[in-house]
């Protein structure tokens, strides 16, 4: 039942043009624009494509596991879809697992396409297979953190409010959440705060592993804490109708 729900959630997501725009089109546009990014913002030493690509991968995780999931779940609550699914043999935890499973399937496509395009544009990741393994670990942790926050948001707010807040958070993190611009390019006073955000931890973790470094403990700890807190809060506050 959970697998069937996962595939249904995936098909519904793939039919939604707005969600596909967030999930793939915007990250692709930012990736291509990254080759000229130094003309717009100071990314620090190094080639722009090597600096921007890990941030774009993190943005893809953010867009699918937070923004898209929050909006879709919010409107499903509004139209009574979740309430009706709650009366079927599918357990309620199965519904949530199905949603997260569909997000992971979409992310597999997202990250594959983005990595291939980045390599075509001249991206030169270091670390070999271990860097991609680090990307997978960070993606799972980031998805757990952002999906927990998405369901928390969608479970307590009205659909219209969820739509507004989810998009606002997406834009704010994109512009000032240490996603595309490396953390060390921000003022010193802001770096400590941004490193504690899931967006900053995920992006910096991606940059470290693709520069050939080991999986950063700080990023892992931050994402695990966010995932745990968001999951507990969601379990206690999520309203099915």
**Tell me: the pLDDT tens digits for 165-189?**
998 999 999 888 888 888 888 888 8
* Integer CA distances (angstroms), 112 to 11, 26, 28, 72, in order: 19, 15, 12, 23
Contact 31, 114 (CB under 8 A): yes
Query: Distance (Å, rounded) from C-alpha 115 to C-alpha 110?
Result: 9
Per the model's pLDDT, the better-predicted residue between 2 and 153 turns out to be 153
Two tokens, residue 147: 């999906």
Q: Is the pTM of this model over 0.85?
A: yes
Helix axes 92-120, 2-14, angle to 10 degrees: 50
Q: Above 60 in pLDDT, residue 39?
A: no
Q: Above 90 in pLDDT, residue 133?
A: yes
Q: Above 90 in pLDDT, residue 93?
A: no
Element (H, E) at 237: helix 217-237
């Amino acid at each position: 039942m959970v697998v069937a729900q996962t595939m249904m959630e995936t098909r519904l997501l793939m039919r939604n043009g707005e969600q596909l725009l967030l999930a793939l089109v915007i990250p692709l546009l930012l990736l291509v624009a990254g080759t000229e990014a130094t003309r717009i913002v100071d990314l620090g030493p190094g080639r722009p494509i090597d600096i921007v690509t890990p941030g774009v991968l993190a943005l893809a995780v953010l867009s699918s596991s937070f923004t898209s999931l929050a909006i879709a779940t919010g409107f499903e609550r509004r139209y009574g879809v979740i309430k009706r699914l709650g009366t079927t043999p599918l357990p309620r935890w199965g519904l949530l697992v199905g949603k997260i499973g569909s997000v992971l399937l979409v992310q597999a496509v997202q990250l594959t396409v983005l990595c291939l395009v980045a390599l075509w544009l001249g991206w030169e990741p270091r670390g070999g297979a271990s860097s991609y393994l680090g990307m997978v670990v960070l993606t799972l942790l980031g998805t757990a953190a952002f999906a927990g926050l998405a369901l928390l948001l969608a479970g307590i707010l009205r659909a219209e409010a969820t739509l507004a807040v989810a998009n606002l958070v997406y834009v704010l993190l994109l512009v000032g959440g240490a996603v595309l611009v490396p953390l060390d390019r921000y003022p010193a006073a802001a770096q400590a705060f941004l490193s504690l955000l899931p967006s900053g931890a995920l992006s910096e973790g991606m940059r470290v592993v693709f520069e050939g470094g080991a999986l950063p403990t700080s990023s892992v700890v931050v994402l695990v804490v966010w995932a745990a807190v968001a999951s507990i809060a969601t379990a206690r506050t999520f309203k099915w109708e």
